[in-house]
Structure 1
């Protein structure tokens, strides 16, 4: 690789000498890049490969709101259009919604209109305030907005500027634009965003990839990343000293007073806290009433749990069956001699509706299936027989003590067990049976601490205590992470809690199954009998 200093000076000089800022106190002033912006522009245009082409083909920039990402992005697009030597350059301002794409595009329009060097060379389609295209006839180039809603196909971008990646429903726009760059030797995909509230979306995937590339965990010399955020353990609502970590333009494009106002409102309005943490401090938030901190959940997950190695340990299951096309989830919790738990969760979804439901739920079901995180047998509903066979194998291979179950769909599951020859019996506290022992687990507030019924408030408390205390390790699964990030608790006047599927931001079936399995493992004795509650 080669560091091309003249190319860096030319690109940074383009902002200073050609472009003018717009809006408020910055109206008409030269675009003097801040140090962090110089680093980005210099890195993108300065690093070259041996053949003279640029090293970076994709860039991901994540900072707090108000840092000036959109004007920076617009300036990069204009440079690619008029100063990059690319004939018939196609420049796109892309977003999930046309209104969002227009934010970045309007910055470009204003820069052109205020630039003595550009205003006489470039033209517009659409009247003042209604522009939809910037053209550079001399080179046959254009700059225009595009959104996922347009349904456009066939763009061949030289520079594609993707705004607010965290609002993109899926990776369709990114991949469409990337596919169009194959004929462009110097093409650049430039993505900018705040942090988001969806840890299964396309933005979080790029966020994690960016972190891995920067840390050297993954090698990708064509991918540039610049990610700003407060560190784990920082509390921006209590400690202003960490604010600059997520806001590289603090004191320039906006002042400390703005963040002080945002923080004060977040302290007085809990409903605003998640938004402030996400937009201003780049903390990836989940549901507004999330049941547990994402940092605690992350620490509970493990990649080294080998189910086969857990044979011989007492095991408890939790089963949450879907009614029609929802997820079906089965959880297993193994108890070690020291009382610690290892757990895993498996998921099923109908194979015939996989793509349809991926669009509805806005998650990559097909990718999860191919990676082995989700089972998708053929059909439009889940055949209980598939689940019964899986449970039967676990019962044969592991020391399964009992399975906690939701009463809904239980009769169908028992019939499926009969069909495949799996003995199963419901322990009502009055006798014993042969085969798989099943114990009813209530899903609501009401329940009985008796020999025949478990209840959700107690199991939720047991799960939380195990996670907070570090005694539970759960095999990592992105489907379960999505469920956890979507989960919301509902509390009754007595302080009892249950999962609230109506307020959940996504599906939570895996968390329901895990709660039942862990609750059973921590509450039930290992022996079969009429009294199985721990004293």
Structure 2
């Protein structure tokens, strides 16, 4: 643990270790450390290091309690925060350098780009509490701002819990804990979360903007920055991981910060520290994990993170998330859903659909457009020798003859797939829905155990009514995240387990490869395509069929929109 008078030495030691390569770091971190070491060595410019201020903030931070993870469960002083050298480096740099002309801090702004689980919220909470109390700013206003209420509390809640478990802090500085704020009684200072653009009127001494990559505008940033004019030494702290919108405000802000860091733009009042990989680094190489994660092996569980990377390598839809959150790599947003190599391993060209007529049948129907592809997918369930259910997938896609013949504007593979019977060309300019309906009815007369036929109500309501009148067990599956996310995740797991089987159908494979997805903040998925020429209809129909297998919700409705069915198939484990 850092002692009361060695913070600058530890920060400088960290910088020198980075510079000599004792621990691998990206060039952005190397440059930040080089600048720090040079500024201390110079000692004759406008800005100098004040060791007392540096030690003061480090002592304050290490007097605060841990409130998360295994450290929070320890007893006595060992439950106090133990700053790692890189964290000491941050505090010393931000709070230690002062302007020799007036004694105020050099840095009025700081950009910290740190991957998840490396403790950036903890250090931000400590900074917020310090600025509220020990920085001796009368009526200090401290804000934790974000684009959503949940995110705004990601920094404020740890700060509130730290204060609650620090009776000495509350007594010394006269802090009262309220439901949504911390208040300094004697001068009205406050620490509270804010959401979105709070409007004018605030006078922040410290503004913490969390996960800036999620902000749609720079309204909060601008409001906080302009509101600091009445403060002598305020701090605007921007903390984030990488995101998926390179046209957004955070990415543009980062480019400004990088230009400042590398001397292309002069701004001596903004501190920049960005952990991540260099452009030529391979994120799939596990040896690069410590390079991007400064708390690797401390707050970042090495085995857990390595397992996450291995999973992402074989699961394309997880790759953007792992790149953004754990390597700080900006991505384009959507990523491929299906592990096509895994899908190919499940192929068995000798499979015959006729052999499954006595097995449980679940179907998915996607009738996106009469002038485009329509798909009908069948999933048969059969108990395997391993004692688990296995799933056998067959599909038929339909396109109008016009689309098959229009090789210039359509898909040049259609004609070949018609010859292979992977797709069916229906006569005329538009897809013949009547032919699809007749094929489904014929299938139901042949199969003995038809269980569910899932369909998207957007274009298929009339056909569903007709099929229901013919005795088909139709099930409405709205094309929303709520209904499609779990089947998509389950399909991933089944492929990994080798429990999905298919013939290697080229049309189905092509449409699966076209599916891209982006996880939302709750980890939900939804199938999308990058452009209109990349069809995904058979993939969506397959997901819809698996929704019927799972029966993941008890409020799927039948075609009448009135009756509800109870779960008839317990959720299988992959």
TM-score with structure 1 setting the length: 0.54
Contact 1:125–1:133 at 8 Å: present in 2 too?
yes
What's the secondary structure of 2:272's corresponding residue? strand
Contact 1:81–1:141 at 8 Å: present in 2 too?
yes
Matched, 1:105 2:146: no
Matched, 1:25 2:70: yes
Provide, for residues 297-317 of structure 1, a one-character-per-residue CA deviation record: whole Å limited to 9, x for no partner. xxxxxxxxxxxxxxxxxxxxx
Among 117, 137, 151, the residue aligned to 1:86? 137
Contact 2:104–2:233 at 8 Å: present in 1 too?
yes
In the other structure, the counterpart of 1:212 is: 259
In the other structure, the counterpart of 2:189 is: 141
Whole-angstrom CA distance in 2 between matches of 1:254 and 1:3: 31
Provide, for residues 150-206 of structure 1, a one-character-per-residue CA deviation record: whole Å limited to 9, x for no partner. x44311100001110010011111001111001111111001101111101111112
Moved over 6 A (4+): 491-500, 504-508
Whole-angstrom CA distance in 1 between matches of 2:170 and 2:532: 52
Contact 1:93–1:101 at 8 Å: present in 2 too?
yes
What's the secondary structure of 2:335's corresponding residue? coil
Once the 2 structures are TM-superposed, how far is the Cα of residue 245 of structure 1 from its aligned partner? 1.5
Once the 2 structures are TM-superposed, how far is the Cα of residue 34 of structure 1 from its aligned partner? 1.1
In the other structure, the counterpart of 1:65 is: 116
What's the secondary structure of 1:145's corresponding residue? strand
Whole-angstrom CA distance in 2 between matches of 1:507 and 1:35: 51
Once the 2 structures are TM-superposed, how far is the Cα of residue 32 of structure 1 from its aligned partner? 2.0
Aligned residues: 311
What's the secondary structure of 1:160's corresponding residue? strand
In the other structure, the counterpart of 2:49 is: 3
In the other structure, the counterpart of 1:157 is: 204
Once the 2 structures are TM-superposed, how far is the Cα of residue 217 of structure 1 from its aligned partner? 1.4
Among 97, 102, 105, the residue aligned to 1:51? 102
In the other structure, the counterpart of 2:224 is: 177
Bigger radius of gyration among the two: 2
Provide, for residues 2-27 of structure 1, a one-character-per-residue CA deviation record: whole Å limited to 9, x for no partner. 211111011111112x3111122111
Q: Against the structure 1 CA distance between its residues 222 and 278, is the aligned structure 2 distance closer, same or farther, given a 3 Å change threshold?
A: same
Whole-angstrom CA distance in 2 between matches of 1:444 and 1:164: 43
Q: Against the structure 1 CA distance between its residues 499 and 261, is the aligned structure 2 distance closer, same or farther, given a 3 Å change threshold?
A: closer
User: Counterparts of 1:414-429 in structure 2 under 5 Å?
Assistant: none
Q: Against the structure 1 CA distance between its residues 123 and 286, is the aligned structure 2 distance closer, same or farther, given a 3 Å change threshold?
A: same
In the other structure, the counterpart of 2:302 is: 256
Provide, for residues 270-329 of structure 1, a one-character-per-residue CA deviation record: whole Å limited to 9, x for no partner. 1111111110111111132379xxxxxxxxxxxxxxxxxxxxxxxxxxxxxxxxxxxxxx
Contact 1:44–1:56 at 8 Å: present in 2 too?
yes
In the other structure, the counterpart of 1:243 is: 289
Matched, 1:132 2:180: yes
Contact 2:141–2:205 at 8 Å: present in 1 too?
yes
In the other structure, the counterpart of 2:313 is: 267
Among 256, 269, 273, the residue aligned to 1:226? 273
Q: Against the structure 1 CA distance between its residues 503 and 210, is the aligned structure 2 distance closer, same or farther, given a 3 Å change threshold?
A: same
Once the 2 structures are TM-superposed, how far is the Cα of residue 228 of structure 1 from its aligned partner? 0.5
Once the 2 structures are TM-superposed, how far is the Cα of residue 442 of structure 1 from its aligned partner? 6.2
Whole-angstrom CA distance in 1 between matches of 2:149 and 2:129: 19
Contact 1:112–1:122 at 8 Å: present in 2 too?
no
Whole-angstrom CA distance in 1 between matches of 2:322 and 2:236: 28
Once the 2 structures are TM-superposed, how far is the Cα of residue 231 of structure 1 from its aligned partner? 1.6
Contact 2:200–2:227 at 8 Å: present in 1 too?
no
User: Counterparts of 1:442-521 in structure 2 under 5 Å?
Assistant: 444-445=410-411, 503=528
* Contiguous gaps of at least 5 residues in structure 2: 1-46, 338-406, 415-505, 517-526, 534-574
TM-score with structure 2 setting the length: 0.50
Among 264, 275, 281, the residue aligned to 2:327? 281
Contact 2:183–2:191 at 8 Å: present in 1 too?
yes
In the other structure, the counterpart of 2:128 is: 77
Whole-angstrom CA distance in 2 between matches of 1:504 and 1:181: 45
Whole-angstrom CA distance in 2 between matches of 1:104 and 1:506: 39
In the other structure, the counterpart of 1:379 is: none
CA RMSD after TM alignment: 3.1
Once the 2 structures are TM-superposed, how far is the Cα of residue 268 of structure 1 from its aligned partner? 3.1
Contact 2:199–2:223 at 8 Å: present in 1 too?
no
Once the 2 structures are TM-superposed, how far is the Cα of residue 492 of structure 1 from its aligned partner? 6.3
What's the secondary structure of 1:71's corresponding residue? helix
Contact 1:195–1:284 at 8 Å: present in 2 too?
yes
Q: Against the structure 1 CA distance between its residues 173 and 290, is the aligned structure 2 distance closer, same or farther, given a 3 Å change threshold?
A: farther
Whole-angstrom CA distance in 2 between matches of 1:498 and 1:445: 13
In the other structure, the counterpart of 2:91 is: 41
Once the 2 structures are TM-superposed, how far is the Cα of residue 504 of structure 1 from its aligned partner? 6.6
Q: Against the structure 1 CA distance between its residues 498 and 93, is the aligned structure 2 distance closer, same or farther, given a 3 Å change threshold?
A: closer
Whole-angstrom CA distance in 2 between matches of 1:22 and 1:148: 27
What's the secondary structure of 1:143's corresponding residue? strand
In the other structure, the counterpart of 2:236 is: 189
What's the secondary structure of 2:254's corresponding residue? helix
